[in-house]
Amino acid sequence: MINIRMSKIIFTSLLRVLETLYNLQTSRHISSLDMLGSFLYILATGAKVSLCRERFQKCN
């Protein structure tokens, strides 16, 4: 959770809000949890998508 600069409780709450109010859905290739985690990691660290792909092997 240090990488995304958010506690687990806040992360889970944000995920639920995005899923219920904004219809964030799991795709065939990546879960909604991984989507949000990857997005927040990129924002928090300034990493490029290619670095995220290498690190997590899931980022699109």
| Helical (H) or strand (E) element with 44 | helix 32-45
| Domain positions in the chain | 8-56
The pLDDT score that the predictor gives to residue 17 is: 98
Q: DSSP letter for 6, please.
A: S
Residue 49: pLDDT over 90: no
Distances (CA, A) of 25 to 11, 21, 42, 47: 16, 11, 19, 24
Distances (CA, A) of 59 to 1, 8, 9, 34: 17, 20, 22, 8
| pLDDT bucket at 60, cuts 50 / 70 / 90 | low
- 2-41 tens-digit pLDDT: 678 889 999 999 999 999 999 999 998 889 998 998 899 8
Mean pLDDT of 39-60: 80
